Structure 1
């Protein structure tokens, strides 16, 4: 068995080697956000709850999962913060992380696998496509408390040809 001798931290510079320093750490990846309207937020909630219901009916052995309700609660907290900065409910943009899109992908899979409502699956696919189209067009500002929200003075998103989703 070979043992590696503990080596002192070293930083190599163009001028030579500096002993006893740690190398710089890379920057953490930037969290990307897109802005959803209140109507799209309600559609997102309806899709997640329908997928959870389909899964619960088809697979009662899996038990209850709080992950989608935790996500919905977190998104409504962001919606509350966004509504404070924007008095017009029609212009409120709720920041949704890129990582939260995977819940739409899982919901689509569960709805199709467990034979849920096909119209809800189409709405989910349309919302996922709209979210992917808006990604990269928004800039989020993190305010005190760690709650993400968009700057109300920032320019609005570039219009995508997809209309807002209906609420069923």
Structure 2
């Protein structure tokens, strides 16, 4: 939809001894917490993003049962985000010594990930300001989900 800026969730970690294994662990833990499942399988596919090298698209194993997404089971794969190791030139441009530090980064559209979690079929519904729609999905203006309280209502 032209002219609209979609919201994103971004992650960045920079330290000594950071690797793709750290990125994989962080994303697995995020997906398990967000979708409230005990086990998840991620697939990393080589891709290209200008600020990371290597770069990867990340898919989750899932199934669609009766129009409902089931994460962590089934034979289907669904792309959820882009990720990679921060390119050394990006670190250098930020005044960080790329010989000593490494980092990983990832990003995903918050609209898309919310659609998957709550089974929302049409992205445009987020922008209609329809109170009936908000009440149907159980959102309230002051809702603040937490890991302790659960991400679902």
Q: TM-score, normalised by structure 1?
A: 0.28
Structure with greater proportional helix content: 1
Structure with greater proportional strand content: 2
Higher relative contact order, structure no. (Cα contacts within 8 Å, ≥ 6 residues apart): 1
Q: TM-score, normalised by structure 2?
A: 0.30
